[in-house]
Each structure stands twice: as structure tokens, then as C-alpha cells.
Structure 1
Amino acid sequence: MNSNSSFVAADEIRARFSHAMSAMYRQEVPQYGTLVDLVADINTRTLNAEPALHAQLARADELDRLDVERHGAIRVGTAAELATLRRLFAVMGMEPVGYYDLSVAGVPVHSTAFRPVSDAALLSNPFRVFTSLLRLELITDAALRQKAADILARRNIFTPRALELISQCEAEGGLSAAHADDFVREALETFRWHNTATVDAQTYRALQASHRLVADVVCFRGPHINHLTPRTLDIDAAQAAMPARGMDAKDVVEGPPRRDCPILLRQTSFKALQETVRFTDDEGAHTARFGEIEQRGVALTRKGRALYDALLTEVRDMSNAGSAAPDYTQRLEQAFRAFPDDHGALQAQGLAFYRYSLTAIGHVQARAADAEVSLQPLLAKGWVQADPITYEDFLPVSAAGIFQSNLGGEEQKQYQANAAQQAFEAALGAQVHDEIALYEAAQQRSIDQLRAQLRSAAAAA
């Protein structure tokens, strides 16, 4: 993005868009507002009850982002729609991170997450949109597959003005304040709910029989945002409190079990609303939009992620019902006893990513420290502290579990593992970032900065 002072920063455009989308979704789905209020209450109570957590978030400058943090999800049907979304999100400083094959969990899509990638941009506003592309090749009925392709080919999910502003930003390197406001307003239309379908009831039912998500993607004028997600500091408390606030919570929290040191991502939601829709020849109902809550923990290294994936596979292989099994939570907790639940152990064993910095004592002792010594002695002396790097991304099995629970619950299609990252990136028009490489780089930047401070202190001695 051009540094021209007349342009609005991409971070600011992202913040405006996130705020506008939250306001729109609160109006469209009033229970979302209840969800946001619930999360705010729980976060306040948690911070008051856990001063160490409060201090950790304050050191990492993450307190301010809690209230504004959201992620959304959208599903598109064609390569052209996905590629244009990439350009739209680029205006807001959001890049595609990660590749997720949800077909292995019975959902006929593959996905990426558009989000900011720099440390500063994430602290400014960590808005993310989990974006899925329908895999028409997984529709086994050839005639129905072609019909879905024809329906998708006839629609345009972007306003003409939004497309103009995207092209203008690309050509000029940014948008003025007035054009940024126009962009937010026009881009929002792509994510708006429409209760009128573009197909007749019979076509809708045929696509729904193939998979409920196929009908959701194909049968409407636009992809519509299907949920927005605030971040909580205690998802179990949120899950327990949802029914008292009139929300029909899903049965289990997706992701790792409750831990003293949260890892990766835990998610739950209230079940999708059944909404009246008008087909071209009739009136009916459609279930798609819901409210979700997430709790984020420390990002795992490749070694840590391999252990996580192995333990999760072990649990899910015990029953074909996956997280729907009655004893799933107990089995999950038992299996994850093999995963260290202490930040010191996670750091020492190379299972998670941390940012390293001098403590107050470390600043005093910096002149006596060896800049080239390993981190462990400095940590042991209390001269250096390790703060967990927040996981900013998603988990394919958890995402599929949320999707399934909000598609009627009984949807359990089975597909062969069929990752197709190259095909996805061809549709996207770009390569996706390796999310673990981003965390590795963030950790290394903190180590480099720490060692530079120690060398500078030694030179001044």
C-alpha cells in the first residue's frame, strides 16, 4: 500500500469494515449482540480473577484488541469469486494464510483465512475472514453438478462500484478518506443476507440433498456472512452461560480440551437460525447463520502441531461419531494428558512459539549478559521472559465441526481425503502463507531484538 499521506491506512480501512460488518450482523441476527455482551462480561470477570493473565496480555499489548477482535466466515462458489475476494481483502491489508481441506471431515469445501500478517497490523485490528471455496467436483451427480455451475456463473456477488474501487486502489496504491468510506459501504453488500433465493424450491432441495452447504453457497444472490465471532478468555464459562441468555449452544466445544495453558483455538456456537426464504416459485426455510465464540491460545511449532494432530486423530478414531460422541470430552481430556500443560515445558520442549524480551531485572543485568548464550539460562535467571504468541489461525476439524453442527446436525457426508492446495491457489490467484512460518518469523524477530539489546548493553559497559 502506498505511503501517500492522503490515503487511509489499510489497518484503518480494515477497522472500519470490521465495525460496519459487526453492526450489520447485530441488526440481522440480534442474538449476535447478546453473544458480544456475554463475552464482554466474561472477559471482564476473567481478567479481574486472573491478574497473571491480565499482566501477560498487557505486556503483549493485546488488551486493547480484545473488544474489537472478530472473525467472520464466508463461502463462495467460483474461482472468480474467490480471486476477487482476495483483491477486496488486500485493500484492507488482509492476506491469505493457510490452506484447509475440510473435505476430510465431510464438508465439500477448501479454505484459507484472510487476515493481517504483521505484528503491528494484528495489534491494530486482527480481523479475519475464513473463506471457503465450494468444490463442485465433490457433487457426484453430474447433471446436478453442472446445474450448480450454471447457476453460479450467472451471478455477480460484487457491486460495480466495489469493483471500481478495488481497481482504483490497486492502480493508485491506496484510497482517500471518502473513497475508503465508499469502499466499506460497497464491500459490505457482498456479505449482506438476502432472504430471496435465485432458484426454485425443487432445485434448492436437490442441492440440499447433495449437501446442505452446497445449497447455502449456490442458491442465493450473494455468499452472506454466516457468522461473526468475538474472542473470549474463558470459553467454558461462555458455553455454560449461553442457555441463560436464550442461546441454543452446540453440545461440545471444538478443539483441544480445557487447559491451564490454552493452545491453538477452541470454538463453540449457538445453533443456526431457521430463516424464511422466498424461492422463485415458493416460500420455504433455510438454516445457515449462527453465532460463534472462540478462545485463542499459544501457537504451536511444527513439532507441537504434529503432537496435537496425533492426539486428536487418536481420539476421533475411537468413534466414527467424532465430537458428537457422548463421551468425546472425556476421551479428549484423557488423550491430551500427553501434551504438556505448562508454558515452561512447552517452551523448553519446542512445542509452542513465544516472544522473548528482557524483564525489569534483565534490563538491570543486561551489561553482564552474554548476547550469544542460549535462551534457557537467561530464562532460568529471570532476566528474560517468554510471552506466548497468540494463534491467529484456524483448525480444519474444528471448522468442520462447527459447520456440521449448524447444517442440521445429521449431515455426515464422507469424502476421501482430497487436499488440492495447488488447485485452490490457482483459483485464488496467489499462494497462501504458511502460517507456521509466520509464527517462526515472529519468534525470531523477538530473539534478534533481544540479542541486539544485549550486545548494545555490553558495548556500552
Structure 2
Amino acid sequence: MSAPTKQNGTAPCLPPSWDPDHLRTRFVSALSAMYRAEVPLYGSLVDIVRDVDASVLAARGSSSSSLPVRHQLERHGAIRLGTEAEMRTIARLFSLLGMHPVGYYDLKMVGFPLHGTAFRPTTAKALSANPFRVFTTVLRADLIASPSVRKTATSLLAQRELFSPRLRALLAQTETAPSTLTPADADDLIIESLRIFKWHSRATVPLETYLALKREHPMVADIVCFPSAHINHLTPRTLDIDAAQAAMIARGLPAKECIEGPPGGRKCEILLRQTSFKALEERVVFVDESSSSSGSEGEENGARKAKAKTGTHTARFGEIEQRGAAVTRKGRELYDRLLAGGIGKAAEEGRELAEVLGEMFQKEYPDEWDELRVRGLVYFRYRDVEGGRGKVTALGGEVDMETLLEAGAVECEPITYEDFLPLSAAGIFASNLGDGSDGSTERKLQKTEQGRSRAELEALLGCEIPSEIDLYEKLQTESVKECEEALGISGITLAA
């Protein structure tokens, strides 16, 4: 669904100015402008993507006007929240933007005390309008080893308020009196929502507290010590991430040494490939640990200012992504098997993981769309061709999809992968912790208590978190049903 729901499960009747797809596009545009002002290198990445895509399209004999609208708007971001209450409230906000939780990600598998989900559009219509997605994680205080650090973190987060009174009032209004919302209210929603994602160069804790939390885990310090859930990257999508990586290096950006995700050099891109420039070292003012308890307010503020300490924090970075096709469960099992085998083999032989994976994928993962489709490794969107009904009249009541494709009655295209890969996300995060690591070493696939922790997150959100694979299968099935109706066929069967 594309609108927030009431507790009884029915969608409120929102006025036209509150159309979720329209609000989402407005919000992404405003967020992009804000982030460009805060992180000028983000603007450099957008320029790189524009230039790379123009070159790719020129080589194909086309231009940017040939790209779908969604590609030109497309961004994904990531935020880290501190409490369950923050997660519940952000879910209400994202719902207004037509974004819903999809997939469960347990980053405990790579030593991060976080788990989360991706909030994104889920219908074909909403995705084609603007597929903005936010990888949203929340701190798991129970995974903080030090009791004292855990106590400090929970105490500080209990005092934080991410959401302004005006934003909370707007959220409540959409749930109780949606017909009263105005275009001016929509403007306020965008303005107030941006405050959640804004960077603040002044911490809410003393430097000593920040350092203690950072020693426990840099992610804990990043989440706890600031007044906002500052967005840590905003990612444009490119047609050629290898060329984008080379352009980053050529421009002198501190690019990550390796591209995360499936190996490059494939004709048929699958899943998600990501790269980034390393996190900025940003100047931060930390509050005074002990201020005078006497004197006027002005004198006290002056003393605080004089005693405030400065330091640095690394969290925000620039990222570029290339999205390929959504794979089926069978396709994902093959990917995970090759990834696990590649990690082990690379460690055993002392070789680069990308090189090992490239060899393994070349041998075992098909690289032709027809074969990927027939073997049931990738999801496709099917649509009838104009005049297609006349080509199937003699085929009877039920027919297989391959026959329709060969007859020219149906055409297809791979469904875009809209989600994330836990190990890749962790690799990007690890390279931006400010510890000098690129995130490309010590890669391990570990078993986690996903069933229990997933259930905990679902209970927190008050809803079941659908598997991304189930949603891709639904999109494929819906497209098949549309072909059946258009062609007058009682049933279409797929090859696998």
C-alpha cells in the first residue's frame, strides 16, 4: 500500500497534496540539496555519475532522456537510530512517504550492535515513480558488552528527542484527521523531517564520554553522541560502477579499494554493487564536562563555551551504487554459496576476494538473460506486446511463457533489485569507521539468531517484515497475470 494505515488496517483518505509518491520525491530533492550543502563531495559523486552515465549511453547510441524517470531521481540513504521509540516513529514518517519495511538485516554477523530493515516503496507503480529507500538500523543495547557503557548510552538516548513537536503533531493529524491536512502542512512535513537527517557539528556529550563510547564501538558513539540521526550517505545510481570507481580515483577522492557485491565484468548484472569514498573527518565541538554551578545564565554559558573541547568524528561518506536484477531464492542460494566459498578460498590462498569470486562466478553463475530466466535464477517483469493476442489464438487455454516469448506475444525485462546485501553494507560501514580499515579483510559469514532478533524487530514495528524475495515474486506473478488477461489465456506457466 502507498499510504499510512490506521490501527484498524484501513488507509486514511489523504488530500491530493499528500500523495505519497509526490511527497517522497519532494523529500528526496530537499534531502539531496541539504546533503550537497553539508558534504560538497556528494556533489562531486553526482557529477561523476552524470558523466559516466552519459558516456555509457553515448556508446549505446542514446542519451539520458532514454533512461527511466526513476533512474534520474534514484537515491538511497542510511540512518542509525538509538531507541525502539525512535524506530517506531520513523516508521510512521516513512509510511507517509509511501515507504514500508522490507527485509531484515542483522549486522551482528559482522560485529556491529545493530539490526534493521530497509524502508522503501513496494508496488510497481510507486517504484517507477521514485524508488527512494533508507537503510535504517537501530542500536541493540543488549549487544554492548560493557555494563557502564550500556548504561551511559541508554541514559543519553532517553534524553534525546529526534522529532519536533510540529512533526509529531502532523503524524498524529494524518492518523486522526487526514482530511484536514493542507498543502502548507505538507511543506511543514518536509521541513521538519529534514531536521532528523541534518548533521550537527556540536555533540551532546563531553569529549571524554564520546571517546569512551567510541572505544566500545564507533557505531555506538555515532548514534548516541549527536542530537540528530544524521544521514551518513546519500547514494546515486550509476550505469557503470567500475567506471565510476576509476573516475573517483582520477579525481583524487579517497575511494574505497574494492567494490562490494557480485564480481564485475558480467553482461547480466545481478543484485547490487557499491563503492564509496571514505568517511570525512569532521570537526566537532563537545560540551563541557563540568561547568560552574554558580553565576548568571550568561556567565555560565560563557564558561561552557570557553571550556568546550573540539575533536573530530568520522561517519559521513559518499557512495555510488549499480543495481542489477533481483534474483530468486534459487539464484540467491547460488550467490550465497559462491560468496561463502569465495571468502574461504581467498583466505586460504591469500588472494583478493574479487579475483576469486570473478573466477567462480564465471564458471557457475550464468551470464545470459535467457538462461537465467529458464533456470529460474532471476525474476522478470512480463508484458504483452501490441497485437500479441492475435499471435496466441491457436495456442489453447494454457501455455508456457517461453512459447509466448518465442511467438513475440510477450516481452520481458529483469526486475531491478531494490534492496541491500548485509555483507556488502557491513563492508562499506567498516571502511568508514575511522580506524584505517578498508572493510575488505576479516570477511566472515557467521550464523546469527535471525529468527529471534527478526521477531523482536517485527514486534517493535508492529508488523511482519516481508522478505524482499517474496515481493519480487509477487511483482513477477502480477505481471504474468496481466499478460493472461491481455492475451485471453487462462494460465501461463514459467520455465522454472
2:185 to 159, 179, 186: 179
Deviations 1:383-404 (A, max 9, x none): 3222100011111000000000
CA distance in 1, matches of 2:489, 2:406: 22
Deviations 1:3-38 (A, max 9, x none): 454542111111111000000000000010110111
CA distance in 2, matches of 1:455, 1:340: 33
Q: Which amino acid aligns with 2:283?
A: T
Segment drifting more, 257-266 vs 382-391: 382-391
CA distance in 2, matches of 1:344, 1:18: 36
Deviations 1:410-441 (A, max 9, x none): 37799873431011122223221221111111
1:242 match: secondary structure: helix
Shift of 1:210: 1.2
Shift of 1:54: 8.3
1:266 to 261, 264, 273: 273
Q: Which amino acid aligns with 2:176?
A: A
Q: Is the 8 A contact 1:299 1:391 kept in 2?
A: yes
Q: Which amino acid aligns with 1:283?
A: T
Partner of 2:414: 388
Deviations 1:41-95 (A, max 9, x none): 11122122236x989x96xxx6111111000000001000000000011111110
CA distance in 2, matches of 1:321, 1:87: 47
How has the CA–CA distance of structure 1 residues 371 and 267 changed in structure 2, closer, same or farther, with 3 Å as cutoff? farther
TM-score of the superposed pair, with normalisation by structure 1: 0.92
Partner of 1:39: 49
Q: Which amino acid aligns with 2:327?
A: L
Deviations 1:278-332 (A, max 9, x none): 111311000000010010011011111111111111112235699xx76121111
Q: Which amino acid aligns with 2:280?
A: L
CA distance in 2, matches of 1:238, 1:141: 41
Deviations 1:101-143 (A, max 9, x none): 1111222211100111111111111111100111111111111
Q: Which amino acid aligns with 1:180?
A: A
CA distance in 1, matches of 2:98, 2:488: 34
CA distance in 2, matches of 1:171, 1:49: 53
Partner of 2:40: 30
Structure with higher RCO (Cα < 8 A, 6+ apart) = 1
Partner of 2:199: 193
Instruction: Specify every segment of 5 or more residues in structure 2 that has no aligned partner in the other structure, as ranges.
Output: 4-11, 289-308, 491-496
Deviations 1:215-272 (A, max 9, x none): 1011111110000000001000000110223311101110001111000111000111
Percent identity over the alignment is 49
Q: Which amino acid aligns with 1:216?
A: D
Q: Is the 8 A contact 1:199 1:219 kept in 2?
A: yes
Partner of 2:30: 20
Partner of 1:406: 432
Q: Which amino acid aligns with 1:331?
A: V
Q: Is the 8 A contact 1:273 1:290 kept in 2?
A: yes
1:373 match: secondary structure: strand
Partner of 2:368: 342
TM-score of the superposed pair, with normalisation by structure 2: 0.86
1:252 match: secondary structure: coil
Runs of 4+ residues deviating >6 angstroms: 411-416
Q: Which amino acid aligns with 1:10?
A: P
Segment drifting more, 226-235 vs 370-379: 370-379
Instruction: Give aligned pairs, total.
Output: 451
Shift of 1:456: 7.3
How has the CA–CA distance of structure 1 residues 416 and 264 changed in structure 2, closer, same or farther, with 3 Å as cutoff? closer
Q: Is the 8 A contact 1:370 1:454 kept in 2?
A: no
Partner of 2:144: 139
1:99 to 95, 98, 104: 104
Q: Which amino acid aligns with 2:285?
A: R
CA distance in 1, matches of 2:347, 2:147: 29
CA distance in 2, matches of 1:416, 1:154: 35
Q: CA RMSD in A?
A: 2.4
Partner of 1:291: 318
Segment drifting more, 101-110 vs 268-277: 101-110
Residues 321-336 of structure 1 correspond to what in structure 2 (within 5 A)? 327-336=352-361
Q: Is the 8 A contact 1:113 1:131 kept in 2?
A: yes
Partner of 1:452: 485
CA distance in 1, matches of 2:287, 2:101: 36
1:181 match: secondary structure: helix
Q: Which amino acid aligns with 1:17?
A: F
Segment drifting more, 407-416 vs 172-181: 407-416
